[in-house]
Chain A
Amino acid sequence: MRTLEQTTQEVLDLAAKHFQLPSGSLAPEDDFFKKLGIDSLQTLELLSRLENHFAIELPDYEVQGVSDFKTLAERIQSRL
């Protein structure tokens, strides 16, 4: 079982890769809308990637109102 720290790191790495940013350029507290310059639809695309990576289903309502990587990782962790 992954720890929350590991999950968070994997979320950051995957987001960086998906949006072609240098590894290590994202931090847990970053607001992904602002940092990645993405809209709500692109966020849904990222969620699909994360679901595949962690082999979970993350319903849309679970990420409603979430805008930072840390909270996103917590929501994922609760479903692992």
Chain B
Amino acid sequence: MLDLSQYQSVGEALREALERFSTEVCLIEADREREKDRLTFAEFKKRALLLAKALQEAGFSEGDRASIIMTNQSKWLISAYATFFCGGVLVPLDYKLTPEEQWQLLKHSGAKLLITEYPIWRQLSVSAGRNTATNVKTVLVTEAPATADLAGARHWEEFRGEGDPVFVPRKRSDTASIVYSSGTGGRPKGCIMTHENYLEQCVALTSIYPFWPGVRYLSILPTNHAIDFMVGFFGPFTCGAAVVHLRTLRPEYVREAFPKYKITYVSLVPLVLKNLQKGLQARFDALPPGKRKVFNALVAINKALTKSRPRLGLSRLLLKQVHEAFGGELLAIIVGGAFTEPQTLQFFYDLGIPVANGYGLTEAGTAITVNDLRPFRADTVGKPLPGMEVRILNPAPDGVGEVAVRSKTVMSGYLNDPELTAETIVDGWLMTGDLGKVDETGHLQLSGRKKNMIVTEEGKNIYPEDIERVFESLPVKEFCVFAANYIWPKRSMTGEQLVLVLHLDQGQKYNEQLLRDVTARNQRLLNYKRVHGVVLLDEDFPRTASLKIKRNELAARLAKLDSAAAIRPL
């Protein structure tokens, strides 16, 4: 890999990688059973520089912000590199957000350029939010039919300059990207990530899970997600490895991709990992009794032999069919984005498939801890990465307290929100809002949250404030949404749910009509953002002088209720 200490910026490191590994394959793009594209680093460079030149001709320059709203595909990475080449700042947004949410973040980010796909643009271009984000001056749309009315946007494929673009250097302390960790409803949390954040994180991660030419990383998590940006783009590229993109994430095509492309690494969220576990378990259960007995014995042998460390060669011999289904060259499944249940991690490890679980926050520059598998510990989220200091603040007698981290990978702050930045980064320490303890071997064990939010198994951060808008004008006296675990703290990071607290008008009943109204509004939210139950509170919510709800105080009052009895399921 490149010695990243030699480089000042993401763009500079990528530029060197494209030269150094020019003949290696860097990208493979497949759509179902068809391979759509296969690029070497040299071909990638050629395509990206055509775009970079056109961007420069259009006046895109140092510090300008370019947003990408795309599914995982080659043009995502090409556009990102072209942006960095021009000295621009990347604003990767989640393609799964609603058009209104996307425009809201486009406005907040100050993006001048938007690069998106035709199906997404069809929805964005007709959304009312478009009129609010007047900062977006140029829109480039990929894969649009030649005759399509692009509503003022331009075809990405035709946006080409002539001649060589000029590389614009950036300093380590300059902003590389603005990554939104959440906050679509009320207070956007745009994490300002510097070039140094990425360079340092890449060195730390690849010291434990290295890439090299010939390695193939299957990119499934959205590239706007901090994990995939690092291990599905910057990491492999600076090591000469290849990234495989799938245009559809149907489970059958994901399964096929492993043997077809001889995948080395993949990152998954717990939901997908559990689905894989379910599928494998069903296959094992269907084995005839004799074969099942032999299989169980082989798993037991593998388990005994890999107790202290993974022994992949041996596991592949013992459990050949299982490993062949994963292509036979899989080194590790990286799992992140949300907490993974220990039994799922253990299931894969017992089969000789190392699952590198970890813990991280966008604010921390992706990963804070990673399981180094020496030995494998399903009950923890691993040890801090090199260069990452972890402290437990105000620990209780059992050692549990708030996790705080300090590292060169921690963001410089939230965009346009000094108040929230000051609350989150205190004396150089990032307050994670998560609760945990560090055991005697240095492993971090998470046990709950201090903050009012949930993380779904799909790795989505949901803040109650962000979804309250859908309940506005509900015919009740007042309402508020909470993470149930925030009110009734639980030593658990899974099965988190949101609850809607209602204070009804005097004499009002929680009747069928109100329930229907709440349900209908709830269904307007994307499925993973929905509230799971209603809690009734017959007293005025505590409020500040400016009439904002005092959430902490309200939560303390609600905590006196018995949660099992108080939550009425929706």
A residues whose Cβ falls under 8 Å from a Cβ of B: 31, 33-34, 39-41, 44-45, 47-48, 57, 59-62, 64-65, 67
The residue on A at minimum CB distance from B96 is A64
Complex partner residue of A41 from B95, B247, B251, CB under 8 angstroms: B251
Question: Which among B310-318, B509-517, B522-530 touches the partner chain?
Answer: B522-530
Chain A proximity of B255: nearest CB distance (Å): 12
State the majority secondary structure of interface residues on A. helix
Bound-complex Cα distance A17 to B120 (A):
32
Bound-complex Cα distance A67 to B527 (A):
8
A-B contacts besides A34-B527, A45-B251, A65-B96, 19 pairs, CB < 8 Å: A31-B527, A34-B523, A39-B271, A40-B528, A41-B251, A41-B271, A41-B272, A41-B275, A44-B249, A48-B252, A57-B32, A60-B249, A61-B71, A61-B117, A61-B120, A62-B119, A64-B95, A65-B98, A67-B523
When distances are taken between beta carbons in the complex, the residues of chain B under 8 Å from A39 are 271, 457-458
A-B contact pairs, 15 of them (CB 8 A): A34-B527, A39-B458, A40-B271, A40-B458, A40-B527, A41-B275, A48-B250, A48-B252, A60-B247, A61-B117, A61-B120, A62-B119, A64-B95, A65-B526, A67-B526
When distances are taken between beta carbons in the complex, the residues of chain B under 8 Å from A31 are 523, 527
B residues whose Cβ falls under 8 Å from a Cβ of A: 32, 71, 95-96, 98, 117, 119-120, 247-252, 271-272, 275, 457-458, 523, 526-528
Bound-complex Cα distance A31 to B523 (A):
8
Chain B proximity of A79: nearest CB distance (Å): 13
Chain B proximity of A67: nearest CB distance (Å): 6
Chain B proximity of A52: nearest CB distance (Å): 11
Bound-complex Cα distance A60 to B98 (A):
15
When distances are taken between beta carbons in the complex, the residues of chain B under 8 Å from A61 are 71, 95, 117, 119-120
When distances are taken between beta carbons in the complex, the residues of chain A under 8 Å from B251 are 41, 44-45, 48
**Interface-central residue, A33, A44, A45, by most chain B CB under 10 Å:** A44
Bound-complex Cα distance A59 to B249 (A):
10
Bound-complex Cα distance A67 to B545 (A):
41
When distances are taken between beta carbons in the complex, the residues of chain A under 8 Å from B117 are 61
Known: A40-B458, A40-B528, A67-B523. A60 touches B272 (CB 8 A): no
**Interface-central residue, A31, A48, A61, by most chain B CB under 10 Å:** A61
When distances are taken between beta carbons in the complex, the residues of chain A under 8 Å from B71 are 60-61
When distances are taken between beta carbons in the complex, the residues of chain B under 8 Å from A40 are 271, 458, 527-528
Chain B proximity of A74: nearest CB distance (Å): 15
Q: Is the CB of B250 within 8 A of A45?
A: yes
Bound-complex Cα distance A64 to B69 (A):
14
**Interface-central residue, A41, A60, A67, by most chain B CB under 10 Å:** A41
When distances are taken between beta carbons in the complex, the residues of chain B under 8 Å from A67 are 523, 526-527
When distances are taken between beta carbons in the complex, the residues of chain A under 8 Å from B119 are 59, 61-62
Chain A proximity of B423: nearest CB distance (Å): 33
Bound-complex Cα distance A41 to B277 (A):
13
The residue on B at minimum CB distance from A48 is B250
Chain A proximity of B245: nearest CB distance (Å): 13
The residue on B at minimum CB distance from A51 is B250
Q: Is the CB of A60 within 8 A of B527?
A: no
Chain B proximity of A38: nearest CB distance (Å): 9
**Interface-central residue, B32, B120, B247, B275, by most chain A CB under 10 Å:** B275
The residue on A at minimum CB distance from B97 is A65
When distances are taken between beta carbons in the complex, the residues of chain B under 8 Å from A65 are 96, 98, 526
When distances are taken between beta carbons in the complex, the residues of chain A under 8 Å from B252 are 48
Bound-complex Cα distance A61 to B249 (A):
11
When distances are taken between beta carbons in the complex, the residues of chain B under 8 Å from A33 are 527
Bound-complex Cα distance A41 to B249 (A):
9
Chain A proximity of B296: nearest CB distance (Å): 27
The residue on B at minimum CB distance from A29 is B523
Bound-complex Cα distance A29 to B252 (A):
28
Bound-complex Cα distance A64 to B526 (A):
10
Bound-complex Cα distance A39 to B274 (A):
12
When distances are taken between beta carbons in the complex, the residues of chain A under 8 Å from B523 are 31, 34, 67
- Closest 4 pairs between A and B when the two form their complex, measured CB to CB: A33-B527, A61-B119, A41-B275, A44-B250
Bound-complex Cα distance A64 to B94 (A):
12
When distances are taken between beta carbons in the complex, the residues of chain A under 8 Å from B98 are 65
Q: Is the CB of A60 within 8 A of B248?
A: yes
Chain B proximity of A33: nearest CB distance (Å): 4
When distances are taken between beta carbons in the complex, the residues of chain A under 8 Å from B248 are 59-60
Bound-complex Cα distance A65 to B96 (A):
8
